[in-house]
Structure 1
Amino acid sequence: MTSLVQEIARQANVTFKNCGSSANGDNKVFLEKQDELGNLLTQISAADLKIAPKKNEMKSSSKSKSPSPPVTYMHICETEAFSMGVFLLKSGASIPLHDHPGMNGMLKVLYGKVRIRCFDKLDNPSGAESETQFNPPLLPNQKGSLTPSILRSAGEYTEGSAPCILTPLKDNLHQIDAVGGPAAFLDILAPPYDPDDGRDCHYYKVLQPVSENADQTTAQPDLEEWLLEVPQPDDFWCGGEPYPGPEVSF
């Protein structure tokens, strides 16, 4: 009997293989295939992948205090079209704001709760015609470039939520925070990261935050922000651990 994760992998391969520019979301055939994949993802559970929250799982705040990473990754499979795996976040852990250049993605929570804020890059921000009209409080040692963006969405997801979907143009940059305990989610990226083909991960800092004192789960959408590209934060790193679920093959 074919496992559900095997069915998901096969549908992901069908959905994203040779999809080219249609993966931008304006192609009816692609959207139908993506809907089929989304329907399968809504059925997956942590038990299907033989994973469960670990007892006494606590946040690791820095490398110096603990050798245990705040986030770990279970690799399931990868083809030229997509990669699939499970991210596990300790209580209070966060995957910082980052991008997926030219990539589609689907995220399905398996247990726990995560808060996700998604941004889009803007070519022509309405609030400023150029970076010279914006004076961010940059420190002398900060390196990187400013990127105008818009807060597209902000919300919380649980195992009962529909998958979070990102495209090359919409919701492509996002931050993921574990809320109220450990969390895990199944992650599909298409095509996979490949620095040699222009698909490397970049990290960002919001220079004019969505109001640091506001409830970020109800942050106003379509709010324009400036993002600064930064090195990978010191308090974030991702470890690896074996995937215990059903084997996936092609």
Structure 2
Amino acid sequence: MPRNNKTPLIQRIARQANETFKICSSSAIGDSKVFLDRQAELSTLLTQIRAADLKIAPPKKGSKPSDQTPPVTYMHICETDTFSMGVFLLKGDASIPLHDHPGMHGMLKVLYGKVRIRCFDKLDNPPCAECETAFDPPLLPFQKDALRRSLLRSTGEYSEESGPCILTPLKDNLHQIDAIEGPAAFLDILAPPYDPDDGRDCHYYKVLQTVSKTVEKSEANGEEEMWLLEIPQPEDFWCGGEPYPGPEVSV
């Protein structure tokens, strides 16, 4: 059936996201051909979206945000039990700190500007006694329970011409997003949405500097194992809100 070109692209994305992620309750979701086919269709739609489709534009050249302006703002588009969707706006050189998405899928599509994304996986290995004493400066006793072994899977740069960055509950689930070369904006889909009451709260981390013997690098794929420390939300990071100016979306 031909598509109705009068339907805004963001509306078609929302409907496809709902179709894609409504089966997320399946434990074998990552291996489901139905899910992967639907996710591929969603990725194709996301690749087409541009800032103008949402009636947003980069800040005018020469404009300087005040010190009171949050480094990151969020435009809420829609949220259901299945997924949430909105736009993050980052000031030049702003960063969304390293954080996780427990049990969640996600898709991120840059609308303008350029971002650098570092993606990590959590590993199951519990901290070992040798590694707990291998940090300089040494960890405090209460910090040892906040240690997480992880795998740095990738570091990449994304622009509006790039396809979406995709995360799953097990792969690339932790990431840090840095605006580079000026302000940036991206469309963000999370499925299911954050819900602290259902075990899906956001946690923040920092990469620890460890001695070389605790850092292992695979020459085959360039992936690097390292220790992360769970931390409170960084004091220099906060997120404000802005009205979404684009086409109305209903699911």
TM category (shorter chain) comes to 0.7 to 0.9
TM-score in terms of structure 1 length: 0.87
| Residues 117 and 154 in structure 1, CA contact (< 8 A), matched pair in contact too | yes
Residues 78-135 of structure 1: CA distance to partner in whole angstroms, max 9, x if unpaired?
A: 01000000000000000000000000000000000000000000113xxxx7332112
| Residues 58 and 90 in structure 1, CA contact (< 8 A), matched pair in contact too | no
Q: Can you give the 5+ residue segments of structure 1 that lack an aligned partner in the other structure?
A: 61-65, 212-219
Aligned length: 232
Q: 2:51 aligns with which of 46, 50, 68?
A: 46
Matched, 1:133 2:134: no
Aligned to 1:99: 100
Q: How far apart, CA to CA, are the structure 1 residues paired with 2:115 and 2:234?
A: 19
Offset of residue 19 of structure 1: 2.6
Letter in 1 for 2:199: G
TM-score in terms of structure 2 length: 0.87
Give the number of the structure whose alpha-carbon radius of gyration is greater. 2
- Within 5 Å, give how 1:124-203 maps onto structure 2: 124=125, 130-134=127-131, 135-136=134-135, 137-138=137-138, 140=140, 143=143, 145-203=146-204
Residues 166-211 of structure 1: CA distance to partner in whole angstroms, max 9, x if unpaired?
A: 00000000000000000000000000000000000000000038x9
Residues 226 and 30 (structure 1), Cα distance of their counterparts in 2 relative to 1, 3 Å cut = same
Aligned to 2:218: none
Letter in 2 for 1:30: F
* 3-state SS of paired residue (2:26): helix
Q: How far apart, CA to CA, are the structure 2 residues paired with 1:157 and 1:24?
A: 26
Q: How far apart, CA to CA, are the structure 1 residues paired with 2:242 and 2:128?
A: 42
Residues 141 and 159 (structure 1), Cα distance of their counterparts in 2 relative to 1, 3 Å cut = farther
Letter in 1 for 2:73: T
* 3-state SS of paired residue (1:108): strand
Matched, 1:87 2:84: no
Matched, 1:78 2:75: no
* 3-state SS of paired residue (1:20): coil
| Residues 57 and 91 in structure 1, CA contact (< 8 A), matched pair in contact too | no
